[in-house]
Chain A
């Protein structure tokens, strides 16, 4: 486990990795919407136990958590104390990683928000 976390520190971060967590939210949201549209409008019924939805949601949360853990490792790269706002390569890395971590948190919350209706409403009407 520790070895994996160590390895996470050396992954390359870019603007693309920054948007992995919110993109996962977007994919999950689109999935939820299509799942509801197809099961309510096209099939006209609600799957008794919405297995597909649960699998999709757990998957999305796992991806977001993974992105968050990697970002957390990278944001902890040792060095000067906060605020990390100087023009060094390491502070840029920390910044992107920290922003990714925050986005992971927001995306996690947003996926949980999206899942609430299925738990509370549990039918199509």
Chain B
């Protein structure tokens, strides 16, 4: 009863705390796994508070106790029970209770798979719905609420770590290995994830937009995402003339570079440069001319030769790719 109350109080405090940051917090879960882990944490926290307080009080008492209040025999009993037996029982209980939380969510053949590859300093995202062709995207992950989704995680260059705190724990992306993280979102909304393993100069600037959608909306969105881009205009010509398509794909004939992020539906994304800048025309134009100013160590070359007007035209074109 006591413990239950305490957990509630702490959960309340944690809830109040996370009200200020609902999109990248382990304490404000929108996925089933993150919710489980939060539960695990709150129970352990309650235990830790009790133990810490108990030890502190005991220490205080020990220091103040007059001499010989404790005989040698009693002292040894204290060490045996408080130092040996009780911790052993508590830790064994914690271990046995927590182990089932390690079991991964079961995965069926009909479940959506999303391949994500970490690269310095962005995410290549490929949706692999069962029984349909793959859909390429970048720097934004959309998942259906209530359905099991498996992320297949790889790394192209160095070790990264895929972490969406509100959804589930993190999983490393290691060159040469494919790791699987199976999740289920329970609440629709816009969230954020971030690379959690130090991956070089702009490690701090490798974030990810996450959108959890109602299943029907998700299916409609994926169908739209599958279609090629439609926008045209002066920017499209400049995009091609400056060789942007050597690295970036915009799914239309002849634009098949695969070095940088896929831009086919760039305009529908919330943010620019892997979750770093708001998607405004000025930001896009600025990034095109000097990407290294936003992201040190970025592999995209700078285009200082573009005039402000040209860069803005390209930016408008890209934003038109809905």
Contact = CB atoms under 8 A, between A and B. Distances in A.
Interface of A: 82-83, 105, 109, 112-113, 116-117, 120-121, 125
A13 to B, nearest CB: 21
Contacts of A83: 72
B104 interface: yes
A83 B71 CA distance: 11
Interface string B87-120: 0100110011001101110000000000000000
Contacts of B88: 109
Nearest to B88: A109
B72 A125 contact: no
Residue from A83, A113, A116, A120 with most neighbouring chain B CB atoms (10 Å)? A120
Given A109-B88, A112-B92, A121 B99 contact: yes
How extensive is the interface on chain B, given as a class?
Answer: 10 to 19
Given A109-B88, A121-B102, A116 B96 contact: yes
Contact of B99 (A82, A109, A112, A116): A116
A38 B104 CA distance: 21
Interface of B: 72-73, 76, 84, 88, 91-92, 95-96, 99-100, 102-104
Contacts of A116: 92, 95-96, 99
B100 A125 contact: no
21 contacts: A82-B72, A82-B73, A82-B76, A83-B72, A105-B84, A109-B88, A109-B92, A112-B92, A113-B91, A113-B92, A113-B95, A116-B92, A116-B95, A116-B96, A116-B99, A117-B99, A120-B96, A120-B99, A120-B100, A121-B100, A125-B104
Contacts of B72: 82-83
A55 B92 CA distance: 22
Nearest to A82: B72
Given A109-B88, A120-B100, 8 more contacts: A105-B84, A112-B92, A113-B91, A116-B92, A117-B99, A120-B96, A120-B99, A121-B102
Nearest to B84: A105
